[in-house]
Structure 1
Amino acid sequence: MSGDDFDQVFGRRPIHAPGFADRINRDQAAPAPGEPSEATAGSGPYKPYGFLPSGGLGESCEVVRWMDGTEVPEGLVLQYRFLMQIGFVGEEQLKLFLPDCIVVIDGKRLRDLRKKLSRRMATFIQQWNPRIWPAPPVGEPIIERISVMRPELLRSGS
């Protein structure tokens, strides 16, 4: 079967067919010229949370805390598809319920973060660390502590 025979039977494929990434992003509008391509909270060097564009294919959020008394980050990357529930206490605490753990975020002015998480519009969350950012933000959102609670493994018959 020649190429022409194939085209006659199955139809000709357009030369510039949209690729996978084009098909995924077709409903997302590109940012207008002059608009920022990323959105972060906080006007100073410390950004408690934000959205960094990932081409529309990312469905995750990186949660970073700091090992006590160090500049060593530790954290986890949560997949939004596993986020079962977002609990909150006022604007000072958020609880992210995942199948294997609960991420507890303590801070101030966290209402906007709660809304962004519920809309999958946050790609990173980071705890404030005085060793990295000497002056705490005033009148802006701040994440003072992030803790991860995991259920204890129960052993049967030991």
Structure 2
Amino acid sequence: MRPRLLFTAMAVACLGAGALLAQDAPRLRGPDPFTREQAAPPMQRPITNDIRVKRNYPDQPPVIPHAIEGYALDLNANKCMSCHARRFTEQSQAPMISVTHYQDREGNTLGGLAPRRYACLACHVPQTEARPLVDNRFVDMDVLTEPERHSGGRSNR
């Protein structure tokens, strides 16, 4: 009898807590009620100026500064490699992919592109003119260390 009573009390407490949390959860976007169908927003224009963008931290994958619509990326083809593979960069003038893309997890150099680096869009993303959904409060490492450089290594904080 006692375990059943304890289980019932826990179930009621969980349901009550769930109901309270669901009421206070903010909606980021979408119609209210969520079951109402709504037209999809228009696709944002990609940034296609081919200008390389400064990276915000070491080892950040570079962003894609050109359109990639229609690029094949499947088991049989990787359109990115037709310009960014080492043997095509002289003709295409595209930057060569990093040597790390030719290494396995243990750092051994392979004869070709590492399978774990084949899906370029897993790390590299195209840019669009879309407004951010949330404010970006990222602070670049150079900005964070700027006071130290001007004070001879002493922090002004």
Scaled to the shorter chain, the TM-score interval is: under 0.3
Find the structure with the greater CA-based Rg. Answer: 2
Structure 1 length normalisation: TM-score? 0.24
> As a proportion of its length, which structure holds more helix?
2
Structure 2 length normalisation: TM-score? 0.24
> As a proportion of its length, which structure holds more strand?
1
